[in-house]
Amino acid sequence: MPVDLAEIREIFFEESVENLNRMESNLLELEKGTVDSELINSIFRGAHSIKGGAGIFNFEEIIAFAHIMETLLDDMRHEKQVITPSVIDLLLRSVDALRMMLLAVKEESDYDVQEVQACQNELKNILNVPTEESDEKESNEEESDEKATSESSESSELKEPATSDTSTTGWHIVFKPNLSMLKTGNDPINLFDELKRLGDLEVKVDISQIPTFSDLDVQACHLSWELILRADVKRAALEEIFDWVEDECELHITALEEFSSQQETESPLEKSEEFLIDKCEGAVNQIEQPIPHFKKETDREEISQLKTAPIEHKKKVHHQTEANSIRVSINKIDDLINMVGELVITQSMLEQFGENFDSSRISQLRDGLSQLERNSRELQESVMRIRMLPISYSFNRFPRLVHDLSLQLSKKVELKLSGEHTELDKTVLEKMSDPLVHLVRNALDHGIETPVQRQAAGKPETGELRLHAFHQGGNIIIQISDDGAGFDLDKIRAKAIQEGLLNPDDHPSEEQLYDLIFQPGFTTVEEVSNLSGRGVGMDVVRRNIRALGGTIHVESKQGKGSTFNVRLPLTLAILDGQLVRVGQEIYILSLLSIIESLRVQTKLVNSYGGSAEVYKLRDEYIPILRLYDLFDIIPSTTQLDQGILVIAEGEGQKIGLFVDELLSQQQIVIKSLESNYKKIQGIFGATILGNGSVALILDVAGLIQRFHHIDFQEN
């Protein structure tokens, strides 16, 4: 069966992104001060997997960079490299560089070579710094000649130098990998590199198990090796190297008593490679990655000779691309299969009615149709759950963001995440990433004070930033809160008067003042920084949230902190809707936006400004919007007491929508109006009803803005 390299390539990029995210998260955990060997091993495995995967496609620059990272991480694993904040910061920047290179390869574009090369050079510099153990042996090494020093500098860190070049003390190793070992990301070459660091290594490959070319599985390991290591090391050191693959191979390690000098001078690997190439000469031209040869140079010298990215690359800004696949729990797949099975059974039952039907079986037919409706709804819900992802996919990016910005702003900030397992639709999750980033940046830049300011205010010098997600009804609520300075309402009011948004005699409520921060160009910051101060951003945040059918609400207390509450629908594909009739037209309102519906009592209706009407509902005055006027259609009645007033809420405000009649409630499949026609204020989208007609879905927040004559459409 032919191998789909394009599919494998896509899987490689997706898994590489996951590995980079895991590496970044683990590095940030290390930075907290707790040195955990498992964390270091996990970071090492991430770099190792990326390097191995890049080797399949011959991404030489990525291989070279990942190899340097892998070597440094290996030194950290073996406690030959001290873990310091500067080393962790360098590795974090290395993760960024590797991410940039992978994105450039994926998009077939260029990347910032200077940035990558600078990071690569720093890694080399750290690797060339002697450890305390090598310092103790430095005087002994200086007495040897230059050639001997270059060949033994790496091994001197792990063992005492051999007394003579002809020492036969060592080990004989038979290494037979399982066929599936390569599929787990383990590469025998890396194991041999580790052995080579211990001493003089000779490798002999056994190609006897290679099948004919037509039967060759390129993802299977058909080779085995016989290894001879001349080194005065303990068996435990060898077992540690093979510990990664002990369950995926057959391994025999025995002490080596004698080995003739004649066998040392000949490289059995090169002979075997030549034979292998001869055997597969018909396919060699299709193999992009050459078979590696083992050299006797140390790993440090090998690193210094690795290829760097070619100079012709140019700097290019990359944009985050959306993932085109998701990982789905097997339980969700099982539920979906079970529901399809139930649907097939129901279909078979209904088919029997078509073959032999009479009036006495009408009740059975009605039951069958009811079961079909129930199965269809459950199937729909199962399919929708497949698109649901935990919000941790978005939250996981913020520890690094907070880490970098805290250093940049000279602030101490502790990030606390909760509700990471709360699920929402993949599309909503992706489109909310940028607004959340902006809100977090604002909290760090404007909200949380510097350590000096916090101490002066009687606060701990480390500020707290919290991201919390939870379900509420059919929505998801995301809270971004901080214990910083909070909003100064007097300052906001003064700035609004200065900008002409308020008159000096106006006395707006707190909610109205908070609403001003979302106006385009509005800012109370006097100095423009690299992060903010231009009044650009918060209006875009609200516009993007509204585009998702969501709302944003601000709570703040000066000197205590602020909280942004973002309310979003769980999915953009389906909503529970209330059908309403206005004249001969059918419109749909989201059930989540409806507070109540009532018959109008004319004595509670008042007018102001000549035409505007309000309805007194208990202790509130609700503005009335006659939908037939808005859409210019002929209603069944214009008398308020003969229709229905639907009290709906959007953006924290209420409005009464006057309609002729309430119809049924049903789940609505949303179709985008903007992508098929154009964006219309007050219209969220459209749907197709059961009779084939098209009905518009109303956006309550947009209707309220339209009622107040505020044009928030995009330019």
Give helix then strand counts, H and E, for the chain: 26, 22
Quote the tokens at residue 66: 């990942």
User: Which residues does 410 contact at the CB level (< 8 Å), separation at least 6?
Assistant: 450, 451
DSSP code, position 162: P
Claim: this prediction has a pTM higher than 0.75: no
User: Which residues does 442 contact at the CB level (< 8 Å), separation at least 6?
Assistant: 532, 537, 538
Q: How many whole angstroms separate alpha carbon 443 and alpha carbon 185?
A: 41
Q: Please say whether the beta carbons of 119 and 309 come within 8 A.
A: no
Backbone angles phi, psi at 180, to 5 degrees: -90, 5
Burial class (CB in 10 A: 0-12, 13-18, 19+), 597: middle
Q: Please say whether the beta carbons of 417 and 457 come within 8 A.
A: no
CA-closest candidate to residue 425, choices 670, 594, 590: 670
Quote the tokens at residue 92: 């974090």
Amino acid of residue 696: L
> What are the average pLDDT values for consecutive 10-residue runs of the chain, which has 715 residues?
67 86 86 77 86 82 88 84 85 90 87 87 76 42 43 40 46 86 76 83 86 77 86 80 78 70 42 41 38 39 42 40 66 85 85 73 83 84 81 86 88 90 85 88 89 91 92 82 90 85 82 83 64 61 82 88 88 82 92 89 81 85 90 90 90 86 86 76 84 87 74 36
**Helices marked H in 232-329 — which ranges?**
235-241, 261-264, 268-279, 299-304
Paired residues of 273 in beta bridges: none
Quote the tokens at residue 214: 């037509």
Residue 342 CA from chain centroid, whole number: 35
For the chain, what's the residue count?
Answer: 715
Amino acid of residue 491: K
Q: How far is CA 54 from CA 51, 91, 109, 165, 264, in A?
A: 5, 19, 17, 37, 33
3-state class of 264 per DSSP? helix
HSE, side-chain direction, 13 A CA sphere, residue 204: 12
574-598 tens-digit pLDDT: 778 899 999 999 999 988 789 999 9
According to the model, what pLDDT value does residue 658 have?
94
According to the model, what pLDDT value does residue 269 have?
41
According to the model, what pLDDT value does residue 75 have?
85
CA-closest candidate to residue 620, choices 639, 641, 596, 637: 596
Q: Please say whether the beta carbons of 87 and 291 come within 8 A.
A: no
Amino acid of residue 562: S
Q: How many whole angstroms separate alpha carbon 327 and alpha carbon 555?
A: 36
HSE, side-chain direction, 13 A CA sphere, residue 631: 22
CA-closest candidate to residue 513, choices 538, 487, 537: 487
